Structure 1
């Protein structure tokens, strides 16, 4: 709700204070003991797989990131309040996502219970989901409103852009909305880590922003210090969370891509058998479809990640009024950015065809 006469930053401060109050009263997380959820047979792996499954179904139905955050928060509150057997975990998980979708999504996006049960692959019947929905609502006293890590991330990022409006001025492929989409993906990955469940959403969101801001500017410390004061985050917990998040994201980072250059005028298999330069020692499969000549071939995972980042980017553009960007500027940024990213990612020097040296 907008308050007339207040600046954007003042409205953000009001939103942050309201979220912090909700977090103080509603924040609950499951306690793990001896590799399992205390008092249950749910292991750490079961819990992490449940969060990752929520993320997968969220992308499949194109739900908002806020829906994912709310679904995880509802699930954590249930697991912290009730001793759940692992055989009911999937049904509870899909029910939490269904409740979050009905809270955040538009009516035309919300799937029917039957469609959700079939397309999500939850192995639950619509009747079971409806019965579990009533149980979850009763346990939470029909109060699903809470502040999620995704909510804090959106608020902190908007406050950061208010303090540092020229942060992405010199970045060709980065702007506020694409940056927020990147941070959101990192946050979702961290929310599936059982070691990070112990930290509040405000702390986790601020750590994600801090780690990314350190890579972008040397003036990150004053801006983060100001956010720490406003968010009233404990310094010791912040430092511990920062170390764990840095370690977790480092484990998820893909290894360096290996490229193989296929000359345009040579047969790929025959050329590979010769002792000419190649970045990969592994032989090229004979059953492989012939690659496009003169093109660098990279792993398929890179393309999937770029598509996922583009989808998230489109979801955040409206937050920063970036719909009016001209097509010429977009094309220019894509061409320039692609060249820089390719140079930065490829560990091999630029390769040339043997015939070009003559």
Structure 2
């Protein structure tokens, strides 16, 4: 196996640069403790359970709109940082979550991939308007810094580590696919506890856990080289490997429910709903169905409080006007 010094100098430089930046994108520790301490059924503050449920919904939206893992991880990073500096009421969380996803998509995705704001709101079944989302975006930008740069996340390190591993092993060792690693990272991201981990440590923990299952001595030596180069302690890496292992055990079990972007609920206009209600008793009689063969020819303290100034961020669904319910790509597929 090659030595780490033989790896592309630009790659090592990028790793060091990301390590220097990662602390700037970590959620505030005191805010994370407040979220963890909040009762699950608290109606005045966001709890860890409430946050995790919202992140799972964002994962489903990411899958439905075909957004990348980078968009999802970026959105959750923004969400966590915002929740740990602001005192947020649970009723505002859907608006904040969707807004973070929309902001992240505008940073990461190409313009032709972006979903119109009205479609995003309709698909998420959210009770706020386009103007509400615009106001929330201004608040988040103000609190996190505008313009908001792309965060250094665990996904950033996953891609860098994998490139380093390929260089160290000269491509002779089997490595987990980036798709598998991204899916595992998204599963971890749905749990608030992983927001406490440094992105560099969480990414290396995911890789080490997966490489250990492959029983590759060469690859594990590469993990040790990166661990030493980035000055990650053995205790820290072991702690997060255990956390990742527990999360993956549940993720691959039958108890875990993955996002299903095929489960859609029809949204109808008020006029259509009234017509349906008025005509519900007008059921035409059906002719008798003949029996026979089928005819094949027929076919808290450290957080700022936004609860008062933003109480109006709960409008009615789609009250900003109409717009196509399904994304344009989905509609064109249906026509075909």
Residue matched to 2:203: 205
Q: Distance in 2 between matches of 1:91 and 1:203?
A: 31
After TM superposition, give the deviation of residue 195 of structure 1 in Å.
Answer: 2.3
State the partner residue of 1:167.
173
The Cα RMSD (Å) is 2.4
Aligned structure 1 segments of 4 or more residues deviating by more than 4 angstroms: 37-40
Choose from 159, 163, 167 the match for 1:158: 163
1:319-357 Cα offsets, whole Å, 9 max, x none, are xxxxxxxxxxxxxxxxxxxxxxxxxxxxxxxxxxxxxxx
Q: Which residue of 2 aligns with 1:189?
A: 187
CA apart distance, 1:32: 2.8
SS at match of 1:232: coil
1:241–1:57 distance in 2 versus 1, CA, 3 Å: same
Match of residue 146, structure 1, among 138, 142, 151 = 151
Compared with structure 1, are the counterparts of its residues 253 and 137 closer, same or farther at alpha carbon in structure 2 (3 Å cutoff)? same
User: What is the aligned counterpart of 1:41 among 45, 68, 73?
Assistant: 45
Q: Equivalent residue of 2:196, what SS?
A: coil
Which residue pairs with 1:66 in the alignment? 70
CA spacing shift, 1:151–1:126, aligned 2, 3 Å: same
- 1:114·1:126 contact (CA, 8 Å) conserved in 2? yes
- C-alpha deviation, 1:150, in angstroms: 1.0
Aligned partner of 1:134 among 132, 138, 158: 138
Counterpart of 1:21? 20
Query: Of the two structures, which has the highest relative contact order with CA contacts closer than 8 Å and spacing of 6 or more?
Result: 2
What secondary structure, in the 3-state scheme, does the structure 1 residue paired with 2:126 have? coil
CA contact (8 A) 1:74 1:144 kept: no
Contact 2:25–2:77, Cα closer than 8 Å, also in 1? no
* Alignment deviations for residues 221-275 of structure 1 (CA, whole Å, 9 cap, x no partner): 311111112333233221111111111111222359xxxxxxxxxxxxxxxxxxx
Gapped runs of 5+ residues in structure 1? Answer: 1-6, 169-175, 257-358
Specify whether residues 27 and 13 from structure 1 end up closer, same or farther in structure 2 by C-alpha distance, changes over 3 A only: same
**For residues 10-35 of structure 1, what are the alpha-carbon distances to aligned partners after superposition, in whole Å with 9 as ceiling and x for unaligned?**
22212212211221223224413464
Deviations 1:131-164 (A, max 9, x none): 1001100111213332011111111111111112
- TM-score relative to the length of structure 2: 0.67
Q: 1:218 is matched with which residue?
A: 216
- Taking structure 1 as the reference length, the TM-score comes to 0.63
Indicate yes or no: 2:94 matched with 1:86. Answer: no
**Bigger shift: residues 13-22 or 205-214:** 13-22
- Please say if residues 75 and 104 of structure 2, whose CA atoms lie closer than 8 Å, have aligned partners that are also in contact: yes
